[in-house]
Amino acid sequence: MFKFKHHSRLLGLLFISSAFSLGYPGYLGASSDESLITAPSSQSALVLNSEKAKVLERTQELPTLIPPLLPAIFAQVSSPIPSQSLSDEFTTSRDYSPEAATRWTNKPGWTYPHEAVAAANPLAADAGLQMLKRGGNAVDAAVAVQMVLSLVEPQSSGIGGGGFMVVSKAGHVEVLDGREVAPQSATENLFLDDSGRPLGFKRAQLSNRSIGVPGIVAMLQQAHRLYGKLPWKDLIQPAIELCDNGFMVSQRLHQLLLQDKDLVRNSFAREYFYQPDLTPWPVGYKLKNPELSRILKDIASQGAKAFYTGVWAQAVVDTANNAATKFSDSTPDVDKRMSLSDLRNYRSLIREPLCFEMNTHKTESVGGEVGAGVGFGAGVGVGLGVDLKIGIEPGPYKVCGAPPPASGTLAMAQILGMLEHTPAKDLPFGAEWLHYYAEASRLALADRAKYVSDPTNPTNPTARVASTGLTAPETTSPTPDLTSGSSTHSTKISSPRNEQKTWQALISNAYLQERAKLIGEQRMSSPEPGIPVELPKSASFIQVGSMPNQPEHGTSHISVIDRFGGSVSFTTSIESAFGVHRMVNSGSGLKGGFLLNSELTDFSFSPTDEFGRPIANRPGPGKRPRSSMTPTIVLTGGTVGKPSQVYASLGSPGGSAIIHFTAQTLWAMLEWGMSPQEAINLAHFTIVHPNGELILEQNQFNDEWLNQLIARKQTLIQAPLTSGVQAIERTRGGLSGGADPRREGVVLGR
């Protein structure tokens, strides 16, 4: 393998040190010389341009911010295309690595004959496996996994957050939407200050403005009622036992606690996560959570109503509103934004999946060398021109995921669909392929910024433009009332005559073929959203604005395939690492509890664009914010009288980079014939907004790649990219699973 070296001929490339990641108490600061960048640690940051290359050592610890001039510097030294103007608090290392990088741990890849569970923590994966061994199915396993993750991976997900679950049973796919919703008090000005300007991201994230009504518990119970086999209480028991008996603090949790500077301000979190000297509990310390055990026991015996009513609902509201009696060491928020009725009225939704077809072209090798040996782990050999597994039959594969307000499947379908109309369809993994992928991404992200938001909420401005074909009358289907056990009506998107028409128009072959014509041999100058012919160019429609770039963080992913032929792909989140940094505790004297989300920061902070046009993803009462989650199930086969078979389940955490982590893994598995582990091990990349830099995983791309990309006018950044891809694939020999070496995940099965 080829180790990366610095060369002065590489223009406009920033090599961010491994310490440049979420929570590091340093920043890249401008000096009087615009070519100089202050490094964030004793390790080096390097800026190279045509005049000079200077390496500076860190001189002081400063807030985790990049100055607003940084994108302009990148554009000046490496590209004639100016970057989008961003405020200082919107251009941070969190755009590149939503959770801090810890360490690479080689994963061997796993094979099992019958069923498998992939999760971000071994204890959580084991809980899922135990449910399968007891006769449970994929949904049972997923519930058990999530409950344990609430304890052992609190920085990423938990019962204080939300998520999207894609379920496949006998070839039928449904999506459960457990996304957080904005309280009824929310307005489109939720994230504006008194002068009408958008709040800085950090200020918004740590305030009660960012907290959505949690949806995980409602969604899990709904999934269990629809599909589960084992008793509900049995699924929660592994998490209860770990709460009572304790779990060993992992290296990753310890490192993230060490780097976080805000969690200690919350008294309940401080008493639980930290020692008296305010240092985190050491790796291997057995940490118990009696308060979380108490609420999980109530949920196990009473169901979701234990969370959405009574003492625990009151605790959530008190925490969200920062009641002074419970948080005397914090500055109380002025407004009380969440109410008991917000929790009582929460509903998990069933949505029709968004599906698209993929055909394979059987590209059998990877072109050129890529990065350092660490980038591929487990002796994969990628980058040496080796042949990959042969014998994959050309599709079509049916790829299904969550529709909006989740944007991931839509964007992935657009990106991969456009690649089918470029030379990329026949290329191996190389700089040329990556250029085409980056350009397709820019066009998909431009559409995402304009179109995607909660399609069923009346505050969505596109929902009021009936003449565009964006929406149609809703249909409903009885789904359980999770607080009373009776039946009520929840929105179920079940016909292409509703908003599915919009999404299908945006991923139609004709539309993507036209969009692909905009992709050239060099980086495009100004990616703009398109308008499919199915959507009339009405004056009202044109008045809908595009959302500006904002950071997106956090999440965890779970994939399960069971022996019954069923599967779950489930992405779950509390948004930023440790969410809003507030721990829910009833005040009974027990330590611990659970963390609340900061998911509402996924709304557009500004309700209108610079021309005064409403932005689809602006806040509103009862509205679900746009998400990048991309839980994916792949089906194959399916004929008259014979249902489709689950071929794969995959997904990833990673903020807006989730889309690219998942799309790359899917393409590598289907187009390049890689195993899940080989695909996951590939060097990663991301683009966070249409005119943004191409961000490459640190130290994984060599001179040949970088020179070719720069020659195509791509603006490049290298930074840690802390993905957490989980994937399981059905093979002739059983199930093949992979877990991301960048985190602690494993695949367990039998």
DSSP state of 43: S
Q: How, if at all, do strands 354-358 and 397-401 pair?
A: antiparallel
Report phi then psi at 205, rounded to 5. -60, -40
Rounded Cα–Cα distance for residues 70 and 205 (Å): 23
Closest to 21 measured CA to CA, from 99, 76, 88: 99
Q: Integer distance in angstroms from the first to the last C-alpha of the chain?
A: 34
372 Cβ neighbours under 8 A, 6+ residues apart: 1, 2, 3, 4, 699, 700
Q: What angle do CA 575, 494, 217 make, to 5 degrees?
A: 35
Q: How, if at all, do strands 349-351 and 694-697 pair?
A: unpaired
Helix (H) or strand (E) holding 291, with range, is helix 290-302
381 Cβ neighbours under 8 A, 6+ residues apart: none
Rounded Cα–Cα distance for residues 385 and 330 (Å): 57
Closest to 32 measured CA to CA, from 7, 54, 10: 54
Classify residue 410 by burial, with Cβ atoms within 10 Å: 0-12, 13-18, 19+. Answer: buried
Rounded Cα–Cα distance for residues 271 and 273 (Å): 6
Rounded Cα–Cα distance for residues 99 and 654 (Å): 8
Rounded Cα–Cα distance for residues 349 and 347 (Å): 6
Classify residue 127 by burial, with Cβ atoms within 10 Å: 0-12, 13-18, 19+. Answer: buried
Rounded Cα–Cα distance for residues 686 and 672 (Å): 19
Contact 721, 684 (CB under 8 A): yes
- Is 502 designated active site? no
SS3 state of residue 557:
strand
Contact 289, 243 (CB under 8 A): yes
Rounded Cα–Cα distance for residues 467 and 88 (Å): 39
Which one of the listed residues 456, 555, 630, 722 is annotated catalytic? 555
3-state secondary structure 505-540: HHCCHHHHHHHHCCCCCCCCCCCCCCCCCCCCCCHH
Rounded Cα–Cα distance for residues 427 and 412 (Å): 18
Rounded Cα–Cα distance for residues 582 and 580 (Å): 6
- Read off the tokens for 347: 């509903």
Report phi then psi at 606, rounded to 5. -95, 125
Contact 644, 637 (CB under 8 A): yes
Contact 176, 164 (CB under 8 A): yes
Instruction: Spell out where 91-246 has E strands.
Output: 110-112, 116-119, 162-169, 172-178
Closest to 593 measured CA to CA, from 579, 572, 612, 607: 579
Closest to 532 measured CA to CA, from 414, 439, 425: 414
203 Cβ neighbours under 8 A, 6+ residues apart: 89
In our burial notation (b when 16+ CB lie closer than 10 A, e otherwise), range 172-186 reads ebbbbbbbbbbbeeb
Mind telling me the catalytic residues? Answer: 555
